[in-house]
């Protein structure tokens, strides 16, 4: 059947089909998996380094250092997004850059950059909530469900 379709194509079309097939990315490649793992791991390593800097140099406890660490990672992600570097890293690494905090910050910053010319309210505000809205709703619903499950399965909470 494939050979019948090729017979109907002109030589130029056949040449284009062969070229497109050569350039088509493979569905699964081990090197993509390795790059995603490497970059995701490096982002997490950077987060650990930042957290340890807050602990050792700032006198924070590990728990207290968590919030400023997230803030620093978000700031780095937004700066790299605004410079166009994060997108290049994401093209090379694939899903490795989707580590939750930095990936979400990139999505928010990208939407803000893309729609800034449409104005603050309709452009920035509207586009940011297209990205953040579903995440916030999912987080709220998930927290509610986990809280209800915790109350149901922990007898010390109710009627204690």
- Quickly list DSSP for 48-107: HHHHHHHHHHH---HHHHHHHHHHHHHHHHHHHHHTTHHHHHHHHHGGGGG-HHHHHHHH
> What pLDDT shows up at residue 1?
45
Quote the CA–CA distance of 67 and 87 in Å, as a whole number.
Answer: 25
| Contact (CB, 8 A) for 55 and 65 | yes
Quote the CA–CA distance of 103 and 87 in Å, as a whole number.
Answer: 10
| Tens-digit pLDDT string for the chain (160 aa) | 455 554 688 888 888 888 888 888 767 778 888 999 999 999 999 999 999 999 999 999 999 999 999 999 999 999 999 999 999 999 998 888 888 788 888 888 887 787 777 777 777 777 777 777 777 788 888 999 998 998 888 877 655 4
pTM: 0.65
Quote the CA–CA distance of 142 and 136 in Å, as a whole number.
Answer: 10
| Burial class of residue 148 in the structure, from the number of CB atoms within 10 Å of its CB (0-12 exposed, 13-18 middle, 19+ buried) | exposed
Quote the CA–CA distance of 31 and 42 in Å, as a whole number.
Answer: 16
| Contact (CB, 8 A) for 126 and 95 | no
> What pLDDT shows up at residue 116?
72
């Amino acid at each position: 059947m494939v050979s019948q379709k090729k017979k109907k194509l002109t030589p130029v079309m056949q040449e284009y089909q062969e070229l497109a097939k050569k350039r088509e990315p493979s569905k699964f490649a081990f090197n993509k998996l390795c790059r995603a793992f490497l970059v995701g791991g490096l982002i997490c390593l950077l987060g650990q380094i930042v957290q340890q800097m807050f602990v050792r140099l700032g006198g924070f406890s590990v728990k207290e250092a968590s919030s400023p660490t997230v803030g620093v990672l978000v700031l780095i992600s937004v700066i790299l997004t605004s410079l166009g570097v994060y997108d290049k890293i994401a093209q090379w690494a694939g899903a490795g850059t989707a580590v939750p905090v930095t990936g979400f910050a990139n999505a928010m910053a990208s939407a803000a950059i893309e729609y800034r010319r449409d104005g603050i309210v309709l452009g920035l505000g509207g586009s940011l909530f297209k990205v953040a809205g579903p995440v916030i709703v999912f987080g709220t619903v998930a927290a509610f469900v986990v809280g209800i499950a915790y109350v149901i399965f922990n007898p010390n909470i109710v009627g204690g």
